[in-house]
Amino acid sequence: MIKTPGDVKTYKKDLKRALSNTFLGATLDAFASAYPASRANAFSGIDFEALAAEIARAKDESIPNLEKLLEEFTVQAQKAGAVVHFARTAFEANSIIASIAEENGVRRIVKGKSMTAEETFLNDHLERSGYEVTETDLGEWIIQMRGEGPSHMVMPAIHLSRREVAELFTKVTGQAQDPDDIGAMVRVARSELRRKFLEADMGISGANFAIAQNGAIGLVTNEGNGRLVTTLPRVHVALVGVDKLVPDVKSAMRILTALPRNATGQLISTYVTWITGAVECKSAPGSRKSMHIVFLDNGRLALAKDPVFSQALRCIRCGACANVCPIYKLVGGHNYGHVYIGAIGLVLTYFYHGRQNARAIVRNCLNCRACKSVCAAGIDLPRLIKEVYGAILEVEGEKPVKNVLLEKTLGNRRLFHFLLRSGSHLQAPVAEGRFLRHLPLIFSEEHQFRRLPALAKVPLRDKWEKINPVTQNPRYKVAFFGGCLTDFVYPEQGQALLDACRDLGVRFEYPMEQTCCGLPALMMGEKETARRVAVQNIKAVDPAEFDYVLTLCASCGSHLKEYVNLLSDEPLLGVKAAQLKDKVIDFSSFMTKVLKIDPSQFLAGGGKTAYHAPCHLCRGQGVREEPRELLAIAGLEYVQTKDEEVCCGFGGSFSLDFPEISAELLKRKLDNVAASGTGALVTDCPGCVLQLKGGMENRGGAIEVKHIAEIVAERRK
Amino acid sequence: MVEQESTAKFAERARSAQTVVVEAKDLAAVFEYAADLTLQQGGQSIAAPGIKGKELAHLSKLCQAKKIELLTGDLRQKADMISTGLTGADWGIAETGTLVVDSKSEDIRLAGMLCDTHVAFLKKSRIVPDAGTIEKELSRMMKTSHGYTAFISGASRTADIERVLTIGVHGPRELHVLILGEDKQ
């Protein structure tokens, strides 16, 4: 039975246990390291972005018409001799399947892998009704015998070691199994399960596709068990979510192009099986299989009408969102989902398995966008996760203290900035240079993994007029969006921007009414507060008055570009949000593409420099080459490090909520940088600087951590 | 030209999924290959439910000579005794190295599922660049009542124990594709 904690305290205990599981850590790390290359290889010659967009478009066209597709499918499938059932709920689906078994005098059932059957806990229901149910996918068979749920949608037993499997198989066969002979263990499964196939009266499968045009279902498998499940027993039941309906063969083939490539880096899975109707089955009466297709609604048809969440139904169940998730990699699927795993699991759990199961896990997201960047259906997973979090807070009506504080302060710029200024004075007794000597009492032991910076004595906004040079006849008029960290913690980064652009014909302005970009509010599920500060910023910075809106903060930049999501329905504000989106620019792009700086403007012979790619720059804004290019132009030797685009673990308030995970991600990041032998590490987000600098300081500060604007300013001639 | 390119790509992609790809000049050569392979692997039988008429007579003679049992139907009753499954393939998809086998007949299905080694023959002229090229034909195959269309790309595999790729979990341990150069139709 799957248990997912409903409270954060218990959940964190589970996370801690997972973090100390060295086998899990090593195996998931090995997988995460191998996956990107094999995925890229599988997609070579295919424009993934275009394919994902095409799948999204086609799915969005089908989703409002699922009922129509279901009707069409039913007519076709019934013509071919299948019986089509419709289950409104999980319980109804299980009951329908149990009665099919009863009507057909079934005793033994073999099952192919089906996430939908996991969703309805079908096995439990059938076993309680007295049937023998055997999972036949190797991974599913293993976890069934262990009484566990899957820890990955495609590789359900990835959390287990060969030793654990050998122990299990020794028990099953009564013969000692050699854990290092995986081939032999697979042969055990082959012979044990072959017997089960031959004895079974009923086979249950899922389906990756249900094609309305011809009433066929499609199954994507590697082991070949799906073929035996649908061939040997005299009864076949396919349990299919209504979201698997596609209009035609073409749509199915399109998804098939993406599914195995994205799931396991295979061009195609070994077997793809298309079944239409009551196929020949010589052990059945009249040599015709008793074929049943049970469609599961379980909230899907209502979800299809939801303006925000309907896109969750685009999911093709490839599991790629887990494959690239830095948190999944640390804690595994049993701690990163309920039945459905990974980013999509955090979203679907709320809909299919309820608030209690979703409320703790849904907080465990860095918003690093790794999932979104590989989603084969272009689902905005990070956004949906925050929407679910917000919805749960709303429904429960009881908010964490920090949410209440945030709501009260962030919505009022004067109050917010007053508090930050006061903080700068109040911290004096505990400040030590640019860091806090010890952490305020609200922090616990677990937050000691990095040193927190002290607030600046004078925020950027208070000295802006003094330091901003007057540019005669500027070529560009640029609004500088500071963001809280540059403004109140690292004003020197703002100074660096001005130094780096000195005499290059740029007139910067710092609109004083600007405030926090609002991303922290959205991260905490406070959509209304996020909307309010978005409006405040759009009032403060009218994009029509500037050529560009530059920010040194990747997170602010990416969030400013997403104001369109928050304000699209509002007259005028929606237009301004769209204009803002087009004008927001990061430092590296501004220097290389707009100012077109060249090496003659910089000192030569700079040292080796590693680069950390902020999530909200490389994935959030698609800026990848420019920072590296900029380093080269500025006379620095860029040294590539491992996992450059993997999150540093900051994630804003995430690092306060889940310090253990944040610490582990930071450790890995800094280990990779240390291994590169560079003297400096630069990045282009003050949030990442906070995390990396604080972590490096804790290790003795051997490598200097800087914002890229600082190092570039230093190199200016 | 297109046919040659597709054939080369099919072979390359199929081989990358551990499929053995061989050219054969005619069906007789395919039978010879299947019989020799069966003996080489210590097998005792060939299931060839799709072979009919003159060709069946030929195969039957060959098996007799080589002391291989030939199974032509009711494979469900012989589930444990199939060494080699010999079937045709309707299409080859070059992009993924995939065989498309119309498997309406239960015995065709079982020959390819329950055997240790699957030998499939495919006419060169039936190799197409990608699935899109035969979308209409695939639609037709599925539209027939009681359709069972199999895409097969390599031997049965799993990576469910520590992600170690292991071949032959439920289905065949080996897949051999024999490409027939001459298309007499």
What are the pLDDT digits (tens) for A640-686? 999 999 999 999 889 989 999 999 999 999 999 999 999 999 999 99
Please provide the average confidence, as pLDDT, over all residues in chain A. Answer: 94
Give the length of chain B.
185
Instruction: Compute φ and ψ for A217, nearest 5 degrees.
Output: -110, 155
Q: Give the DSSP letter of residue B181.
A: -
Counting the structural domains of chain A, the total is: 2
pLDDT score at A545? 97
Which residues of chain B does A283 touch, with a Cβ-Cβ cutoff of 8 Å?
76
The three-point CA angle A527-A585-A534 to 5° equals 20
Are A403 and A525 in contact by the 8 Å Cβ rule? The answer is: yes
* Beta strand A435-436 pairing with B20-24: unpaired
Are A634 and A711 in contact by the 8 Å Cβ rule? The answer is: yes
Helix, strand, or coil here: A551?
A: strand
Chain centroid to CA A401: 26
User: For tokens 């860029």, what's the residue?
Assistant: A638
**Interface with chain B: mutation pick from A137, A270, A323, A329, highest number of B CBs within 10 Å:** A270
Q: Is residue A594 predicted with pLDDT exceeding 90?
A: yes
Residue of A nearest to B106 (CA): A280
* C-alpha–C-alpha distance, residues A413 and A532, integer Å: 11
Interface of A with B in 255-294 (CB under 8 A): 256, 264, 266-283, 288
Nearest C-alpha of chain A: how many angstroms from B52?
19
Residue of B nearest to A183 (CA): B166
How do residues A67-117 score in pLDDT, each as one tens digit? 999 999 999 999 999 999 999 999 999 999 999 999 999 999 999 999 999
* C-alpha–C-alpha distance, residues B28 and B34, integer Å: 10
Residue of B nearest to A247 (CA): B139
A213 touches chain B (CB under 8 A): yes
In a domain, A286, yes or no: yes
In b/e form, how buried is each residue of A110-129, taking b as 16+ CB within 10 angstroms?
bbbbbbbbbbbbbbebbeee
What SS3 string covers A318-351? CCHHHHCCHHHHHHCHHHCECCCEHHHHHHHHHH
Nearest C-alpha of chain B: how many angstroms from A111?
13
Contact check, Cβ <8 Å, A225/B109? no
Which of B9, B7, B47, B39 minimizes the C-alpha distance to B24? B7
* C-alpha–C-alpha distance, residues A696 and A691, integer Å: 9
B157 touches chain A (CB under 8 A): yes
Of B146, B157, B169, which has the smallest distance from its Cβ to A189's Cβ?
Answer: B169
In a domain, A158, yes or no: yes
Catalogue the E-assigned strands of A393-516: 431-432, 435-436, 476-481, 506-509
Of A30, A268, A281, which has the smallest distance from its Cβ to B96's Cβ?
Answer: A268
Contact check, Cβ <8 Å, B113/A279? no
Which residues of chain B does A157 touch, with a Cβ-Cβ cutoff of 8 Å?
160-161
Which of A364, A360, A362, A201 minimizes the C-alpha distance to A289? A201
Contact check, Cβ <8 Å, A277/B162? no
**Interface with chain A: mutation pick from B91, B93, B108, B146, highest number of A CBs within 10 Å:** B146
Which of A694, A568, A547, A685 minimizes the C-alpha distance to A627? A685
Residue spans per domain, chain B:
2-180
In a domain, A29, yes or no: no
Q: Give the DSSP letter of residue A452.
A: P
Nearest C-alpha of chain B: how many angstroms from A580?
42
In a domain, A312, yes or no: no
Give the pLDDT band of residue A440 (cuts 50, 70, 90). low
Average of pLDDT values for A397-426?
A: 85
* C-alpha–C-alpha distance, residues A469 and A473, integer Å: 13
User: Where do the H-state alpha helices sit in A174-211?
Assistant: 182-199
Which residues of chain B does A158 touch, with a Cβ-Cβ cutoff of 8 Å?
163
Average of pLDDT values for A345-373?
A: 97
- Give the A:B interface size as CB pairs under 8 Å: 182
Helix, strand, or coil here: B30?
A: helix
Are A220 and A259 in contact by the 8 Å Cβ rule? The answer is: yes
Nearest C-alpha of chain A: how many angstroms from B105?
6
Nearest C-alpha of chain A: how many angstroms from B59?
25
Chain centroid to CA A651: 13
What's the ipTM? 0.96
Contact check, Cβ <8 Å, A282/B74? yes
Residue of A nearest to B18 (CA): A270
B133 touches chain A (CB under 8 A): no
* Beta strand B127-128 pairing with B117-123: unpaired
The CATH class of B2-180 is: alpha beta
Nearest C-alpha of chain A: how many angstroms from B97?
9
Nearest C-alpha of chain A: how many angstroms from B65?
31
Residue of A nearest to B154 (CA): A270
A138 touches chain B (CB under 8 A): yes
A136 touches chain B (CB under 8 A): yes
In a domain, A355, yes or no: no
A595 touches chain B (CB under 8 A): no
In a domain, A38, yes or no: no
**Interface with chain B: mutation pick from A163, A199, A227, highest number of B CBs within 10 Å:** A227
Which residues of chain B does A267 touch, with a Cβ-Cβ cutoff of 8 Å?
13, 16-17, 95-97, 153
| Final residue belonging to a domain, choices A273, A301, A329 | A301
Q: Give the DSSP letter of residue A593.
A: I
| Final residue belonging to a domain, choices A285, A301, A317 | A301
Ranges of residues in chain B with a pLDDT under 70 are: 1, 182-185
Of A216, A268, A274, which has the smallest distance from its Cβ to B153's Cβ?
Answer: A268
Residue of B nearest to A210 (CA): B142
Q: Is residue A5 predicted with pLDDT exceeding 80?
A: yes
Chain centroid to CA A556: 19
Q: Is residue A476 predicted with pLDDT exceeding 60?
A: yes
| Cα dihedral A188/A190/A191/A197 (nearest 10) | 140
Of B109, B156, B160, which has the smallest distance from its Cβ to A142's Cβ?
Answer: B160
Residue of B nearest to A250 (CA): B135
A78 touches chain B (CB under 8 A): no
Contact check, Cβ <8 Å, A80/B147? yes
Give the pLDDT band of residue A531 (cuts 50, 70, 90). very high
We report the CATH number of the domain holding residue A179 as 3.40.50.10420
In a domain, A390, yes or no: no
Chain centroid to CA B119: 4
We report the CATH number of the domain holding residue A662 as 3.40.50.1860
Are B90 and B148 in contact by the 8 Å Cβ rule? The answer is: no
In b/e form, how buried is each residue of A38-47, taking b as 16+ CB within 10 angstroms?
ebeebbeeee
Domain ranges, residue A290: 65-301
* C-alpha–C-alpha distance, residues A463 and B162, integer Å: 58
Give the other-Cβ count within 10 Å of A670's Cβ: 23
In a domain, A494, yes or no: no
Give the other-Cβ count within 10 Å of B157's Cβ: 25
* C-alpha–C-alpha distance, residues A343 and A345, integer Å: 5
Of A30, A155, A274, which has the smallest distance from its Cβ to B147's Cβ?
Answer: A274
Interface of A with B in 31-70 (CB under 8 A): 31
Interface of B with A in 17-56 (CB under 8 A): 17
How do residues B124-150 score in pLDDT, each as one tens digit? 999 999 999 999 999 999 988 789 999
Q: Is residue A305 predicted with pLDDT exceeding 80?
A: yes
* C-alpha–C-alpha distance, residues A5 and A429, integer Å: 40
